[in-house]
């Protein structure tokens, strides 16, 4: 699974044979059809139809799905919905009120939060590494701990998003796509079956 901020640019790079294989590093990815079309729920009751591009390495023959980073892999909801749920949970709201506010089942919200809480420390570490790659230097005194591992992880993701927006001039419309690209999407993936 490859998460991309700009699907159009990635599709052009894929067609031109400019994408390196993340598995073998030696080969180049080539177009390999499309994944199954699906609907992704967004905030405000909106949905987006998504048919992700597939790619295959010319050397190692492994295949990849290219997903926009606003979409959480193997989830029916976009990063903006799941991120809003996590933010509401950090503000002290329970699963049922969050579910009612977002228009999703309470069991779904519980599953998101359980997955994020179980992977909070790896998510925090990943976001900190991304901050280092972005050349982050704190503008002032360090933030106080959020009071929970998930809160600290979400603060680290928010700092990485803020840094990426400042460094690359991304507007507020890219906030959730950046949050997905900088770690939130990867750590939301459900555990493999079996």
pTM of the model: 0.86
What percentage of residues in the chain have a pLDDT greater than 70? 94
Q: Which two tokens stand for residue 162?
A: 């803020």
pLDDT tens, position by position, 163-174: 999 888 888 999
Query: How would you class 68 by CB atoms within 10 Å of its CB: exposed for 0-12, middle for 13-18, buried for 19 or more?
Result: buried
pLDDT tens, position by position, 73-125: 989 999 999 999 999 999 999 999 999 999 999 999 999 999 999 999 999 99
Q: Which two tokens stand for residue 55?
A: 């790619």
pLDDT value of position 154: 93
The CA angle 163-181-120, to the nearest 5 degrees, is 85
pLDDT value of position 139: 58
Measured CA to CA in angstroms, residue 141 lies from 137, 138, 144, 160 at distances of: 11, 7, 9, 16
pLDDT tens, position by position, 10-28: 989 999 999 999 999 889 9
CA distance 176 to 134: 17
pLDDT tens, position by position, 60-76: 999 999 999 999 998 99
């Amino acid at each position: 699974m490859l998460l991309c901020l700009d699907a159009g640019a990635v599709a052009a790079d894929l067609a031109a044979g400019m994408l390196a294989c993340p598995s073998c590093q030696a080969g180049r990815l080539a177009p390999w059809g499309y994944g199954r079309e699906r609907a992704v729920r967004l905030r405000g009751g909106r949905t987006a139809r998504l048919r992700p591009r597939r790619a295959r390495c010319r050397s190692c023959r492994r295949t990849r799905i290219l997903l926009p980073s606003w979409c959480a892999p193997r989830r029916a909801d976009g990063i903006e919905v799941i991120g809003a749920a996590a933010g509401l949970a950090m503000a002290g709201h329970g699963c049922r009120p969050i579910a009612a506010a977002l228009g999703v089942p309470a069991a779904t919200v519980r599953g998101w939060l359980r997955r994020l809480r179980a992977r909070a420390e790896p998510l925090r570490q990943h976001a900190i590494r991304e901050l280092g790659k972005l050349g982050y230097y704190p503008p002032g005194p360090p933030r106080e701990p959020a009071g929970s591992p998930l809160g600290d992880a979400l603060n680290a993701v928010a700092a990485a998003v803020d840094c990426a927006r400042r460094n690359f001039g991304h507007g507020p419309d890219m906030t959730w796509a950046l949050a997905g690209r900088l770690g939130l999407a990867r750590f939301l993936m459900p555990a493999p079956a079996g």
